[in-house]
A and B are shown apart, each in its own frame.
Chain A
Amino acid sequence: MGAGETVEKNPGAVADTGGETAAVEAGLDALESPPRAAGRLPLGRVLREKALPPLAAAVLILLLWQGACAAHLKPDYLLPSPADVWRALSDQWYEGTLLSTVWNSVRRGALGFAVAVGLGTALGLLLSAMRTLRVAIGPVLSGLQSLPSVAWVPAAIVWFGLTDATLYAVVLLGAVPSVANGLLSGVDQVPPLYVRAGRTLGATGVSGVRHVLLPAALPGFLAGLKQGWAFSWRSLMAAELIASSPELGLGLGQLLESARSYQDMALVLASIAEILTVGVAVDLLLFAPVERRVLRSRGLAGARR
């Protein structure tokens, strides 16, 4: 209705100001849009700025280590040289046990983590929806997060014996609270404005959770997932270290424990290096890219990244 009357009453004025307005607007849009974030950095620069510093640090540590060995600060059976550790690793490789040992642990860790994500997410959603429940068990959940999960190992062994169930129980007890708490803090940090905006658009109830709450909570949730993985991996190592039996199959924790019992310090350090490598690799190859993508798409990560 408005359009017709407008044209009848004052066609010229509207057309004029409209054209002028559009032009000013286009100028403002061009001037005020934040410059597009720079594209990918050239490979050379990435290598120089991102890969070189950690490599240099690693080399420095190896040199210090080698220096300490050359100076005979400690006898070899207490402080093996980097070359000894490398030999232990390559022995494992030629015996064909390296990959199977790492794989055993990674498989357990990944499966345990996956289940922990499912349970933790469900628990987190439940708690964020039910205030009373959250007041009731929120503190317990936070407490569990700070309880070293190795404390569960004796109990798990008594309950489940020396089986995979023991390992998974310890992993879940370690990781579920992190995942649930991550989701809760993600939800807590959702600006109320988004929830209000969602409600005026008709996103209430389940559709509000799906279209507004969960996507808005994603950055916090990702941080929880990352921590959940770290806890899964740590808990698994603690459990494997204590619960070792022939039926369980050799994981990195068991390898570490048997190396200790043979007083094979080179293998002990090699096992630690393997455990560390898995932890760093998962963070670097899985979580870091996802997190970077999410933050960047929301304009939360600066151009420096």
Chain B
Amino acid sequence: MSETVLRVPSGAPVRPVPAPPAGRPAVRLTRVSKWFGTAGRQTVLEDVSLTVRRGEFLCVLGASGCGKSTLLNLVAGLDRPSAGDIDVSGGRRPALMFQEHALFPWLTAGRNIELALRLRGVPRRERREEALRLLELVRLKGAYGKRIHELSGGMRQRVALARALAQDGDVLLMDEPFAALDAITRDVLHEELARIWSERGLSVVFVTHNVREAVRLGRRVVLLSSRPGRIVGEWSAGDAPEAALTATITDALRKEIRRHGRR
């Protein structure tokens, strides 16, 4: 067994890592820049080139103001880059999960997922069954008829994950999806996400400011600088044991943050 097995603090293996298949990348950013405003423009992302392989779990790490969310918005097609190209394979629009669950409170959990299916063009009679299947995947089959406010924070994010999966894209973009959860719930969701990722062969871009989370989940971790966001570091899960890798990346992140205090 030559593949890296990342370990949770307790020492239990979280997941084996599937080898990335060759072929066309899931997402490719070529020299992407993004600025806002015309006069005295503010550059948020500068010259970012990044490739996400099919089936890869990539974590994008950075402090506040590094343009992590902007990056995801660009990949999701919610915004256009000011310069450079973004190429997303698979044809379907990438799914995007937010820090807040962004589920629609006027629909039940099940209906939220069915709306995503409907917008994808799934015929009405198949929607309910598919929604139940997705809820079962996130172990929430009983939540079908529940209103969003009747669910806990962790359950909401799992329903949001199920809704994102309902889009059936190859690419899943996650914008600090677990940042607002307590530590135990977050741990459980890490394991669930890792399981679903490997079961479904998703390509994931996971944005976070939490180094441990990034090292734990990511096959590859990319560090973005702040104002403007540029890629200033990259590590692979296989480079070092988890603890050492966490320390190295934390150092790099702290150095990056210190730079701003000196200005």
Give A residues with C-beta under 8 Å from B.
1-3, 5-6, 9-10, 13-14, 16-18, 20-22, 24-26, 28-29, 32-34, 36, 193-194, 196-197, 199-203, 207, 211-212, 215-216, 218, 294, 297-300
Are B198 and A299 in contact (CB-based, < 8 A)? Answer: no
Are A1 and B55 in contact (CB-based, < 8 A)? Answer: yes
In the complex, chain B residues whose CB is within 8 Å of the CB of A294: 106
In the complex, chain B residues whose CB is within 8 Å of the CB of A22: 139
> Which of A13, A33, A203 makes the CB contact (< 8 A) with B151?
A33
Q: Is B244 an interface residue (CB 8 A)?
A: no
Are B106 and A202 in contact (CB-based, < 8 A)? Answer: no
Give A48 Cβ to nearest chain B Cβ, in Å.
28
Residue of A at shortest CB range from B163? A201
Are B1 and A197 in contact (CB-based, < 8 A)? Answer: no
Q: How large is the interface on B (under 10, 10 to 19, 20 to 34, 35 or more residues)?
A: 35 or more
* CA of A5 to CA of B135, assembled, Å: 24
Are A2 and B200 in contact (CB-based, < 8 A)? Answer: yes
**Those of B1-41 within 8 Å (CB) of chain A:** 1, 3, 5, 12-16, 18-19, 21
Are A216 and B104 in contact (CB-based, < 8 A)? Answer: yes
In the complex, chain A residues whose CB is within 8 Å of the CB of B102: 193-194, 196-197
Are A25 and B15 in contact (CB-based, < 8 A)? Answer: no
Are B106 and A211 in contact (CB-based, < 8 A)? Answer: no
Are B106 and A216 in contact (CB-based, < 8 A)? Answer: yes
* CA of A216 to CA of B103, assembled, Å: 11
Q: Is B250 an interface residue (CB 8 A)?
A: no
**Those of B152-194 within 8 Å (CB) of chain A:** 152-155, 163, 167, 184-185, 188, 191-192
Are A201 and B119 in contact (CB-based, < 8 A)? Answer: yes
B16, B96, B107: residue with the most chain A Cβ atoms closer than 10 Å: B16
In the complex, chain A residues whose CB is within 8 Å of the CB of B14: 17
29 A-B contact pairs sorted by A residue (CB < 8 Å) = A1-B21, A2-B197, A2-B200, A2-B201, A6-B15, A9-B3, A13-B5, A13-B13, A14-B15, A18-B191, A28-B188, A29-B152, A32-B152, A34-B152, A193-B102, A194-B102, A196-B78, A196-B96, A196-B102, A197-B98, A197-B103, A200-B96, A201-B163, A203-B115, A203-B119, A216-B104, A297-B106, A298-B148, A299-B149
In the complex, chain A residues whose CB is within 8 Å of the CB of B96: 196-197, 200
> Which of A196, A199, A298 makes the CB contact (< 8 A) with B106?
A298
Q: Is B93 an interface residue (CB 8 A)?
A: yes
Q: Is B95 an interface residue (CB 8 A)?
A: yes
> Which of A1, A10, A21, A202 makes the CB contact (< 8 A) with B192?
A21
B1, B103, B115, B140: residue with the most chain A Cβ atoms closer than 10 Å: B115
> Which of A1, A28, A197 makes the CB contact (< 8 A) with B185?
A28
A2, A13, A21, A201: residue with the most chain B Cβ atoms closer than 10 Å: A201
